[in-house]
């Protein structure tokens, strides 16, 4: 089985340098073009199923891919990005003056973001890891020789790398894929061992 992971296309918040966890903003023209490139890739490698985060930016990305490739899409709550709490939607450049931002930089993987957003408390990369790992375990167990595309977020992709490569926390944070990069994993259907591949 081949699983290909990608972020949603570029959004307005991405361009503005805003924290975008469970808050949302539309895809830019570039983001739509990135989704079209993913659609071409999906056709080339014969993707049979797309799993997507419920975030609007991910759904917009998958709609472009599904329209181009006629591939079914399943929305998965465990693929949601982490919540940045009261920092949701704020510009990173303005938050850098906050002492908590400096604390965050010292241990970015485990830093729990302050406050709440729409009733949900701030989270860390470490907090969302169990739900990402749970999704991956079920995905691997439930498929044999399929080619799967997963559309999610930076935090989810970082934790996906942790799951498959057992990286250190600094290595996970250093992994910073763009909205155009993919992370591909080949799974042996017999023993579920994995291998990172280039496509």
Residue 8 appears among annotated catalytic residues:
yes
The active-site residue, picked from 10, 60, 81, 123, is 81
Q: Token pair for residue 92?
A: 């990173």
The active-site residue, picked from 8, 60, 88, 153, is 8
Residue 171 appears among annotated catalytic residues:
no
Q: Do 103 and 109 contact (CB within 8 A), yes or no?
A: no
What does the alpha-carbon distance between residue 150 and residue 64 come to, in Å, rounded to a whole number? Answer: 14
Q: Do 114 and 86 contact (CB within 8 A), yes or no?
A: yes
Helix then strand count (H, E) for the chain reads 8, 8
- Assign 3-state DSSP to the chain and report helix, strand, coil percentages, each to 5: 45, 20, 35
Q: Do 22 and 38 contact (CB within 8 A), yes or no?
A: no
Angstrom CA distances, 160 to 26, 71, 91, 149, 174, stand at 25, 23, 26, 13, 14
Angstrom CA distances, 17 to 63, 78, 95, 100, stand at 25, 25, 11, 18
Catalytic residues: 8, 81
């Amino acid at each position: 089985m081949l699983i290909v992971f990608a972020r949603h296309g570029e959004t307005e918040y991405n361009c503005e340098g805003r924290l975008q966890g469970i808050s949302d903003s539309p895809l830019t023209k570039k983001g739509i073009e990135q989704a079209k490139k993913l659609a071409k890739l999906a056709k080339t490698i014969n993707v049979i199923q797309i799993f997507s985060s419920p975030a609007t930016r991910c759904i917009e990305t998958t709609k472009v891919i599904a329209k181009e490739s006629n591939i079914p899409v399943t929305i998965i709550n465990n693929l949601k990005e982490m919540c940045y709490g009261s920092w949701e939607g704020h510009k990173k450049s303005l938050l850098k003056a906050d002492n908590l931002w400096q604390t965050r930089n010292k241990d970015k993987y485990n830093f729990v973001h302050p406050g709440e957003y729409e009733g949900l408390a701030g989270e860390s990369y470490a907090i969302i890891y169990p739900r990402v790992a749970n999704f991956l375990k079920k995905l691997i167990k439930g498929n044999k020789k399929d080619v799967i595309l997963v559309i999610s977020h930076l935090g989810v992709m970082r934790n996906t790398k942790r799951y498959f490569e057992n990286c250190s926390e600094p290595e996970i944070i250093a992994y910073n894929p763009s909205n155009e990069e993919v992370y591909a994993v080949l799974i042996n259907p017999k023993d579920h061992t994995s291998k990172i591949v280039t496509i």
